[in-house]
A and B are shown apart, each in its own frame.
Chain A
Amino acid sequence: MTQKAEARRDRSAKTAEELGPSEDYLTVMIAGQMFGIPVLQVQDVLGQQKVTRIPLAPAEVAGSLNLRGRIVTAIDVRRRLGMDPDAEKHKEMSVVVEHENELYSLVIDDVGDVLTLYNKDFDANPATLDPVWREISMGIYRLKDRLLVVLDVPKLLNTVHL
C-alpha cells in the first residue's frame, strides 16, 4: 500500500496543475463492476472475517464482527445492490467505514488500488440506471478502460432497512 501511495503522490505532483481538482478513491470490485469509495471515509480494509449472524436482521446485514474491540456491522453490498450471491466464491474482503458514529464493514469481492480521479472525468448517473443503483451512486468516473461507480456510503447505509 505504501508503494502505491508514493506512486500516487508522484503522479499527482506532476499532474495536479494540468488536470484540475481531484479526489482519491479506494476501488473495490463487486461482481466485475468497479466501485469507488472516497478514501477519507475508509477506516480499514479487512480480509475474511469471522462474522456472527444476526437473526431477524434485514437481509443485507451479513452479521457483526469484532474489530479491535469495536463491534462492526457487516453489510452485504452485493445483496444491497440487488445482485445474486457470489457464485464464484471470491475470497471476500471488506471495507470498514464510519457512519453516524458506528462502524460498518462493506463486504465486497475484492479491493483494488487507490486512484486519484479528476473532476473532468466525472459524469452524473445515467438516467436509465437501475433505480437501486441510482440511489447509492454519486456518479460515474470514466476511466481509460472501464467505468467506476462512486458509492454514496451514507445513502447505502441509511436505506438498508428499506
Chain B
Amino acid sequence: MDDLIAEFLTETNESLGDLDTDLVNLEQNPNDMDLLSKIFRLVHTIKGTCGFLGLPRLEGVAHKGEDVLGLFRDGTLQVTPEYVTLIFECLDCIKEIISGIEETGSEPAGDDSALISRLEAVYNSANGKEPSPQEALDALVRQARENVAKEAAENTSVSEDVTSEDEGEDDSEDEEADEGDSEGVSLDELEAAFLAAPGPEDMAPSAPQEPAPVAVEKPVVSKTKQPQEPAATKESGVAAQSLRVNVDVLENLMTMVSELVLTRNQLLQILRSQKESEFSAPLQRLNHVVSDLQEGVMKTRMQPIGNAWAKLPRIIRDISIDLNKKIDLDMRGKETELDRQVLELIKDPLTHMVRNSADHGIETPTERVAAGKPETGKLILNAYHEGGHIIIEISDDGKGLNTQKIREKVLANGLATEEELADMSIQQIQQFIFKPGFSTADKVTAVSGRGVGMDVVRTNIEKIGGSIELKSTEGKGSRFLIKIPLTLAIVSALIVESAGERFAIPQLAVRELVMASTEGENRIETIKGTPVFRLRDHLLPLVSLQELLKITPPEPAPVVEAVPTLTEQDMGEVETQAHVDMDSFLEDLEDDEESTSQNDYIVVAQVGAYMFGIIVDRVFDTEEIVVKPVAGILRDIDMFSGNTILGDGSVIMILDPAGIAKCTGEIDSSDTMDVKEEDLRKHESSREKTSLLLFAAGDETPKTVPLELVSRLEEVDMGAIETANGHMVVQYRGKLMPLVPFDSRVHVEGEKRKPVLVFSDDNHSMGLVVDRIIDILDEYIDVQMEGGQGIVGSAIINEKSTDVVDVGYYLRQVNPNWFKNHGDEPFEKGGTAGAPGKRVLLVEDSPFFRNMLSPILKVAGYRVTTAESAVKALKLCEDGKMFDLIISDIEMPEMSGFEFAEKVRATEKWQDTPMIALSSHTTPQDMDRGMQAGFSKYVAKFDRDTLLDTLSQTLSEYAA
C-alpha cells in the first residue's frame, strides 16, 4: 500500500475515534463553539486529504458531512439528536470505506447516494430560502472536485512509479500530491500544504459561471480557515514532543529487555552462591539499571485505559436513542494505564459488557420511575490499580439479572436439571450467563443478544490471566469486576515441584498455600478416591498435579500417592498448620526438608469463582518470569499457558489454572465465600452479622468494637508518646494523633509497644491504647446488658461475655466537638429506657455512624434495622416492612434526607411513622426545611443521650 495512504489511514482512524466522543459531547453541549470547530476541522481534514489521495467516494461523504457541520457552526442549524445521528451515520460510512481501504488498498465499491441525498436534504432545507443557487453551487463544487479528484487519482497512481518527475501540470494541488509522495512528508505537513493551497470552496466563488458568492457560503470560507491555521501549528508543537514508533520496534525492545532480565536473574543467582565476589558491586548496579530499563520499556507500552473507552460514549448514546433510554455513563479512572497488549485484548469484552449493561441492564425511564428509581440510569465504569492488577468495575443500577429467566433458559438449553437448579444459590444460577450460547434477552436486538456473549468475554479475559466476577441483585443492578494483570510479558509466579519436575503457577491465580499433613485436622480426605480438603469451613476440591499431568517420579522410588498414607515415624515432625503466609511457609520448608515427601502442599487456586486446590510435592519461591509461548506442537495442551527460563537457566512449564480447572470439571460457581455469605444472608436476613474486633484492655473481659469503625490497627512505641495540651499525643503520618488509654488500668509508661486502634473520621483521628488484640470475627451483636462509662453494653460473643465499647465516649474525650455536639445537656436519664421492642429504622450512609448508633439503640431496647441509603430504605417500605420510628441522616448521596422524608410522607404505609433527622449542621433553616419535609424532630449528630431521649419522647407522643 502507498505509504501516504497508510499514513492517512492511521491518522484518520485516530481522528475518527476522537470524533465519536466529541460528537456525543457536542450533543450535550450544543453551544460549545470550540468543540464544533474541532469537529468541523477533523471532518474537513479527512475530506481535504482524501481529495488528492484519489478517494472520491470517501471525499463525497465527508464533504456532505462537513456541509451539515458547517451549518451547525454557523448557527443555521440547531444541534439536535436527529442531526447528530445523521452525522454519525456519515462517520460510520467513512469508517466503512476506510476499513475497506485498509484491507484492499483501494476504495471499496458502494453506493452512498442515499446518505448523501439525506445530508443534502438537511443542508438544503436549512438553507431553504434560496435552494436553487445553493444547489447550483453545490453541483458546481462537486463537479470541480470530481475533476480534481480524478486528476489527483491519476497522478497518484503515476507518481508511485515516477516519483520525482514533474508531470508538467499547472494544477497546484497535483504538485502538492507529487511532492507529498516523493518526500514522504507527514500528513500534518500535507495538511498544512493543503490548507495553503486553494481549496474547492475558494475555487467555487471564483468559478466563472457563478456571478456572486451566495451569502451563506462566504462566512464558511473565512471561518474555516481561522480555526484551522493556529490549530495546525499547535499540533506540530505537540508532535515534536512525541514520536510515532512502530509497535514491532517496541515489541522487539520488550523481548530483548525480557532476555536481559533473565540474564540478570541468572547472574544474581550465581552471585548468591558465591560468598564474596568482586562482581557483587557492579552486578548490583547492573541489577538496578536493568530494573529501571525494564520499567522504562514497560512504560512505553502503557496506555491509558481511556483509549479503550473512547468508543463507549457513542455506543451508549446510540443505545439510548435506539431504545429510548436515559443513560448516564460515568467513566472513572480513565488515566489508569495498562499494557497495550492487554488493552487490545480487553477492548472488545469491555465494549460488549457495557453494551449489555445498557441494553439488558438499564430499564426504560417509565420502568425506572415505576421502580422508584431516578429516570436516568447510571452506568459506571471504574478502573484502578490494585497490587499489580488492574481492576475494572462495570456497574449499573438497572434491573439486575433475572434469576427466574436464567433458570428457565438453563432448563430450556438443558444446561442443568430442575433438581440441580433447586440446590443452587442465586449466585450459582447467575453464573450461567457465562456459559456458551446464553442470552436472556427475549428478542435479539441490534445492540446485543446474539448469543455470542459473556462466555466469549470470560474466555478472553481468562486468556490474559484475568478473572471476572459478577454480583447482581434483581431490581438493583449488576456489578462486574474484572481483574487483569498489568502486563502479560512478565508475571510473578510460584514455583512448585511435583514428581521431581518443577512448574510455575501464575501468582495471580494463587489464593493461598496450605500444608496438609498426614493426619490431624489438616489432612487430605477422600470421597470415593477423590481428594478433598477442609479449608476452614469449606470443602475444597483437590487435584493432584502428578496425576493430572500423568508424571511419575524419575527414580523408581516408592510412588508418592496423592492421598498420603499414614507413616508413623514422621508423626512427630509433621507440623500441622493451616494456611500460613508465604515467608513462614518457606521457612518451614527449609526446616522440614526430610519430611516433605510425606507432606503435601496445596496451592489454593481460584479461577473466576471456582476455587480448587492443586496438590504438589514442594513449594519453592516466587519468581518474576518472562512468559514465552510454547512451541507450536505443544499448543493444544490446555494445562500450560507458556514456558519460561528460570534464574538458574532451566526451562519450566507455566501451568494454566484456567486450563486445569476446565480439565478437572469446573462447575463454574461452586462454593466460594460469596455464595456462602449469600446463603447465610438468606437464612439470617432478620439478623445481621457484624465484623467485630476483639481486644483486651485493663481487665480480662474481652472488649469489642465493630471492625468497620476502626480505620487501622497500629503498634505504637510507648516511648514516642508526647504531651500536648494535656493530652497524650503521638506523631502519626505527619500529624499529631491524640492517644487515649482504654482505661486507667492500661499502662502506658514503661511499656515498649502497645496496639492502638485508630479511629478516624474526616480529618480527625485518635488512637485508643489497648493491651492486646484478640481476634476478628463475624458475630451477631446482641447487646444484653446496659454498660457504664465508655461501654455500650455487654454481649455474648464466642460464648464469653464481652463489653461492647462506646467509641463515641472516647472520641469525645479527645475532642468534645468531634460530633459537633451542640452542647445541650442531656435530659433526664430515666427517659431512655422507655421503649422495649420498638422497631427503629436507621438510615445513614456512613458506616462509621451506622455502626456506632445501632448498638446504642439496641442497648436502649430498640429493634434496629439499618439502611445505608434512602433508596434502600424505601425498598424496605415497598417490601412491606413496618417501623415505629425512622431516624435518617440528612446528607446522603443519591437522595438526601429531605427528599427521603418527602417520599416517605407520600407513601401509604409509612406516612404516619415519626421521623427524626440526624445531622451535623443544625442551622435554623435546616431545621425548618426538615420540619417541612416531614421530620418531627431534629437531632444533632451525634448526641447520644439527646437522641435516645428524643426517641422515647417522640414515641410516647405518637403513642398518645
Contacts and interface: CB of A to CB of B under 8 A. Distances in A.
Nearest to B502: A52
B579 to A, nearest CB: 28
B632 interface: yes
B720 interface: no
B633 interface: yes
Nearest to B663: A56
A62 to B, nearest CB: 12
Interface stretch (A40-48, A65-73, A140-148): A65-73
B contacts with A: majority SS = mixed
B643 interface: yes
A83 interface: no
B263 A69 contact: yes
Nearest to B259: A69
A55 B550 contact: yes
A25 interface: no
A73 B639 CA distance: 17
Contacts of B650: 50, 52, 66
Nearest to A101: B632
Interface in B639-656: 639-640, 643-645, 649-653
Given A71-B645, A161-B636, A64 B263 contact: no
A55 B634 contact: no
A54 interface: yes
Nearest to A64: B651
A65 B550 CA distance: 20
Nearest to A73: B631
Given A64-B643, A71-B643, A52 B652 contact: yes
Category for how many chain A residues contact B: 20 to 34
B262 A55 contact: no
Contacts of A100: 632
Contacts of A10: none
Interface string B652-666: 110000000000000
A55 B634 CA distance: 10
A16 interface: no
B631 A55 contact: no
A51 to B, nearest CB: 8
Contacts of A64: 631, 643, 651, 653
Nearest to A161: B633
B653 A54 contact: yes
Contacts of B637: 54, 56-57
Category for how many chain B residues contact A: 20 to 34
B639 A56 contact: yes
Contact of A71 (B501, B550, B551, B651): B651
Contacts of A73: 630-631, 633-634
B634 A66 contact: no
A102 B636 CA distance: 16
Contact of B501 (A50, A52, A69, A161): A52
Contacts of A31: none
A160 interface: yes
B549 interface: yes
A65 B652 CA distance: 9
A81 interface: no
Contacts of A65: 651
A104 interface: yes
A77 B548 CA distance: 27
A71 B628 contact: yes
A66 B651 contact: yes
A144 to B, nearest CB: 37
Nearest to A60: B633
Given A65-B651, A66-B649, A69-B259, A55 B632 contact: no
B269 to A, nearest CB: 13
Interface of B: 259, 262-263, 501, 549-551, 628, 630-634, 636-637, 639-640, 643-645, 649-653
17 contacts: A50-B650, A52-B651, A54-B637, A54-B640, A55-B639, A55-B653, A56-B550, A61-B634, A63-B651, A65-B651, A66-B650, A71-B628, A71-B643, A71-B645, A100-B632, A160-B633, A161-B636
Given A54-B634, A54-B637, A56-B549, 10 more contacts: A52-B650, A52-B651, A56-B637, A57-B637, A66-B650, A71-B645, A73-B631, A73-B633, A73-B634, A102-B632
